[in-house]
Structure 1
Amino acid sequence: MSKPAKSTGQRFWFDPRFAIGLVLVVAAVVGVYWIVAGSDQTTAVFAARSTLAVGDHVEASDLVATRVRLGSADALYVTPDRLPQEGLLVTRTIAAGELVPASAVGRTSGAESTSIVVELTSSLAASIGPGSVVDVWSSRSTGQAAYGPPTVLVGRAAVVRLIEPSGLAATSGIRSLEVLVPKDTVAAVLESIANRDAIAVVPVNAPLGE
């Protein structure tokens, strides 16, 4: 009597522990991914590639996109999606590497300012420098070193640069400033200069204490 032939096929063996381990590994990988993705809350913000002076026209090539963690403060800075195609106009000095504040730039289509040099007849405050915001005061000359009461000639003018005195002016302490003023005030400023009025500037923005 012949014996029944033995089956040569291998039975499939399934271990539930293997499935549980596989599920745990996949869950761990997915969990790590979401943790890393959730922790990346950085925002792309423009920084100045080089120092930008008041009145400079700025385009994307003048800036460097930098990812930083700002939280709710991202609205205070210029981001790639907030840069107009025509570029921006700098309204206060921005140092190289500094994040570009939205308050330090404006649209070029609204550029209605121009720079003008004024000669001061009073001492300059130590806190005033390029990028400072100042009020330009003028006292009308009435002749023979007599002057009328001071009035604000230009309010909130931006200082472009300080012009160091040289020659005889250096000994008298006279200093000149280049300031950015609205175009509709240029005539009044030039008239005051031509009349040899006493001109002084007063800082609007006080520096932060150390």
Structure 2
Amino acid sequence: MPRRTERGSIRIDPRLIIGVVLIVGSTAGVYTLVSGLDDATEVYTATETFTPGALIREADLIVERVRFGSTEVRYLEPDALPDGGLLVTSTIRSGELVPLASVDDVDRAGLATVVVPSRGALPEGVDRGTVVDVWSARQLGRGESEPPTVLVPEAEVAAIIDSGGMVDGDQRSVELLVPRDRVAALLQALAAEDAIDLVPARPEAER
């Protein structure tokens, strides 16, 4: 405790100063911890592995708090999940955060995913979310083929897959969202090795 010297001045005990410093430091540490928790964002984690075409609902997910700092949140948040769920467009593995790029609106539940290998470089502007017409020319043999026709109109590009070890770096595969009633025809054309090309679909106003 403070002690009075012979001249009447007060001498502060160093232990008192140390105690005050410890209290201030402890308070600052608690404040920092609480502030850090407040900065965390609630996002969904998959409870199992989901493949393209699957439908995920709230019961299939758990909420985790993650700190992203100044980075833009690109994962599914609880308030972004509609009551009817979302359609999976690319594989989400068990325990992973659910990327926004891997899910889409449930009104696409009538679609199926089909991977189509490209015959060369993709047309400029074709990327995830691009709407394309799938053109096919049936092979007749001896290098001849029928005139090309639109096999699947307005298919949406779900993902573009790099060719990996293929020699031609321009050759990639495209994962398409295709109406289920057109899947059989597209798979048949692929099995027959018909010539298939993807052409960006024209907007309605230009048709």
**Counterpart pick for 2:52 among 51, 54, 69:** 54
Q: Retained in 1: the 8 A contact 2:114–2:178?
A: no
User: What is the CA distance between 1:112 and its match in structure 2?
Assistant: 5.6
Q: For residue 55 of structure 1, what is the amino acid of its counterpart?
A: G
Q: Give, in angstroms, the shift of residue 100 of structure 1.
A: 0.8
Q: Note if 1:198 corresponds to 2:194.
A: yes
**Residue 82 of structure 1, CA deviation:** 2.2
1:139 aligns with 2:136: yes
1:66-81 equivalences under 5 Å are 66-81=64-79
Question: Which structure: larger Rg?
Answer: 1
Any unmatched runs of 5+ in structure 1? 1-12, 126-131, 160-177, 203-210
Partner Cα separation in structure 2 for residue 114 and residue 106 of structure 1: 11
Distance in 2 of aligned mates of 1:192 and 1:30: 66
Native 8 Å contact 2:55 2:85 kept in 1: yes
Q: TM-score, normalised by structure 2?
A: 0.54
> 1:156 is matched with which residue?
156
Query: In 2 relative to 1, CA 88–72 (structure 1 residues): closer, same or farther, beyond 3 Å?
Result: farther
Q: In structure 2, give the amino acid aligned to 1:44.
A: E
How many Å separate the matches in 1 of 2:19 and 2:33? 21
- Describe the shift of the 1:143–1:35 C-alpha distance in structure 2 as closer, same or farther (beyond 3 A): closer
Q: How far off is 1:45 after superposition?
A: 1.9
In the alignment of these two chains, the number of paired residues is 162
Where does residue 129 of structure 1 map in the other structure?
A: none
Evaluate the alpha carbon distance shift between residue 32 and residue 143 of structure 1 in structure 2; reply closer, same or farther with a 3 A threshold: closer
Query: Structure 1 residues 117, 192: closer, same or farther in 2, change over 3 A?
Result: closer
- Tell me the CA shift for residue 187 of structure 1: 5.6
Cα gap change, 1:100/1:199 in structure 2, threshold over 3 Å: closer, same or farther?
Answer: farther
Q: Which of 65, 70, 87 is the equivalent residue of 2:63?
A: 65
Query: Once the two structures are aligned, what percentage of the paired residues are identical?
Result: 27
Which whole-Å CA distance do the structure 1 matches of 2:105 and 2:25 have between them? 49
Q: Could you tell me how far 1:103 is from its partner in structure 2? A: 2.0
Amino acid at match of 1:29: S
Distance in 1 between residues matched to 2:75 and 2:94, nearest whole Å: 15
The one-letter code sitting in structure 2 at the alignment partner of 1:148 is P
Query: Which secondary structure does the structure 1 equivalent of 2:73 belong to?
Result: helix
Residues 201, 67 of structure 1: CA spacing in aligned structure 2 closer, same or farther, 3 A cutoff? farther
Q: Could you state the TM-score of these two structures normalised by the residue count of structure 1?
A: 0.53
Q: CA RMSD in A?
A: 4.5
Q: Judging changes above 3 Å, is the alpha-carbon distance between structure 1 residues 49 and 74 closer, same or farther for their aligned structure 2 residues?
A: farther
For structure 2, the 5+ residue unaligned runs are 4-11, 121-127, 160-174, 199-207
